[in-house]
Amino acid sequence: MKLLKEILTDEKIIYGNQETVIEGITNNSKKVEKNYAFFAIKGTSVDGHNFIDEAIKNGASVIFIEDEKYAESLKGKNITVVLTDNSRRSLALASNRFYDNPSEKLKVIAITGTNGKTTTSNLLAQYYEMAGYKVGVIGTINYRVGDEVLSSGHTTPDPVEWFKTLKVMKDKGADVVVAEVSSHAADQYRVYSTKFHGGIFTNLTQDHLDYHQTMENYFLAKRRVFEQVDEFNKEAIYSINVDDDYGRRILDYLKNHLKVNDSKIITYGKTSENFRILDHRLSLFETEFSYKYKDTLSKIKTKLRGVFNIYNLSAAVSFLIKDGFDLKFLEEKALYLKPIKGRFEVIEGQGFIVVIDYAHTPDALENILKSLNEIKENRIITVFGAGGNRDKTKRPLMGEAAESLSDIVILTSDNPRNEDPLRIIEDILAGIKDKDKVITIVDRKQAIEKAINLAKEKDIILIAGKGHENYQIIGDKILHFDDAEVVKEIIDGGKIV
């Protein structure tokens, strides 16, 4: 419980008083209970101001409005009304204060980028745990503290859940929280006012243009993550991938606009002057790469597979160097890092292997296929689709990547949602010149079965797009579907290696 005055910043009280009791916060009128503060937010498709009456009926004691025209109708209703010029920002600030500023007592690290967020955050978590810290993870797979799963995951929750989760993690003894922070989160102030210990930028490639419309808007939303990190902690540390064009822009912005001291920044990549990636060796079972840090040449060996995991591991290691970790410790412990479910997950078949990966963007699909081409001994059969009601412009690009780097392509459903799966497949086909190497099977299980039946000795089957997900969204239904389960069922319990 809090008093209104304890969660206010620069907002203006129109009716009521600052001593009003608040027992909860939400921007969802259906979740309002007695003595809740309701924040009316103008969304992209729904205006929260239209649900003020429902919030009052459900017990709201305080209403935050962004549009002053609603104030007159609330006069005399025994409701405290607060005017704000930015409801999203106010919701974040209020949520932080309501949950006692939990990030002040934690080491919270933001990982952002198009690809690699989940793996990088989990690698960071494993390293911190091996160093004796208790770690919370907020991300796509789940929210957890140590081995205790708090809930199933999505990239970045709304501000109320975000700060509530941080408080729960602190109360359960967490020292460190590593979190995936999406572009939507930065754009919508979901993590605003968090005191981040630091931030990591992995890369930026085409995705989410259904929301951002242009790559420049997408970039600016990602850049906002670093603006918010800097705003609330001038001592934050950063690790940036400078092999990425947008990463170099982030670096320039940190140095020349935000005036972050060089001592707080480390870069990684083949072009980095700090943590420079040199050559590498791939196999189905491990990855080894050499690097140069300062004047020292060294190697890291890991059970993680693929070139993209060299970047994910470099992101984690470089950040931890900046956070004071010993380099020898990081090298030695790399061998003990566990792969993430649905990220280059390998299942043995009868003379062939199946790789399951979350790759659902053109760049991610291209990267894993390039890694597979480095180790292939025969053919690559790629099974994938694309999500419905999402960025359509990436579909032909994914088709182009699959065609150029696969021997056989099987197009199928991903999460079609409310789109016709065949229409999604047509969009993918627009990027494929050689239609003769393409098989279309809408049913995902049948598509996987077809790939396995086609497989010959030493073939690699890539099943991309869903990774760790154990569901498929068709229309308005969420149906159980797990690529790994399906594969093991078809090949009679093939083991993960």
Chain position carrying tokens 């209403």 = 63
Are residues 26 and 38 in contact, defined by beta-carbon separation less than 8 angstroms? yes
Chain position carrying tokens 């008083």 = 17
pLDDT at residue 32, rounded to an integer: 97
Are residues 331 and 337 in contact, defined by beta-carbon separation less than 8 angstroms? no
Chain position carrying tokens 């670093």 = 226
Planar angle of CA 426, 431, 434, nearest 5 degrees = 95
Beta-sheet strand order (sheet of 60-65): 12-15, 80-83, 60-65, 36-39, 24-26
Are residues 422 and 428 in contact, defined by beta-carbon separation less than 8 angstroms? no
How many Å apart are CA 154 and CA 166, to the nearest integer?
A: 15
For residue 100 the two structure tokens come to 């006692």
Are residues 254 and 239 in contact, defined by beta-carbon separation less than 8 angstroms? no
**Which domains can be identified in the chain, with CATH numbers?**
2-97 (3.40.1390.10), 101-336 (3.40.1190.10), 345-490 (3.90.190.20)
Cross-strand pairs, 51: none
Which of 291-294's residues contact partners 24+ apart within 8 Å by CB, and which partners? 293/321, 293/327
pLDDT at residue 285, rounded to an integer: 82
pLDDT at residue 497, rounded to an integer: 46
pLDDT at residue 218, rounded to an integer: 87
Cross-strand pairs, 287: 282, 302
How many Å apart are CA 226 and CA 228, to the nearest integer?
A: 5
How many Å apart are CA 484 and CA 490, to the nearest integer?
A: 10
pLDDT at residue 206, rounded to an integer: 64
The SS3 of residue 232 is helix
Chain position carrying tokens 């060089």 = 262
Q: Which helix (H) or strand (E) holds 153?
A: none
**Is 348 buried (19+), middle (13-18) or exposed (0-12) by CB count in 10 A?**
middle
The SS3 of residue 433 is coil
Per-residue pLDDT of the chain (497 residues; tens, 9 = 90+): 999 999 999 999 999 999 999 999 999 999 999 999 999 998 877 899 999 999 999 999 999 999 899 998 898 889 999 999 999 999 999 999 999 999 999 999 999 998 889 999 999 999 999 999 999 999 988 899 999 999 876 667 899 999 999 999 999 999 999 999 988 888 899 999 999 999 999 999 866 555 556 888 889 989 999 999 999 999 999 999 999 999 999 999 999 999 999 999 999 999 999 999 999 999 888 899 999 999 889 999 999 988 889 999 999 999 999 999 999 999 999 999 998 889 899 999 889 999 999 999 998 999 999 999 999 999 999 999 999 998 899 999 999 999 999 999 999 999 999 999 999 999 999 999 999 999 999 999 999 999 999 999 999 999 999 999 999 999 999 999 999 999 999 997 544 44
pLDDT at residue 496, rounded to an integer: 45
Q: How far is CA 334 from CA 303, 308, 341, in A?
A: 8, 15, 17
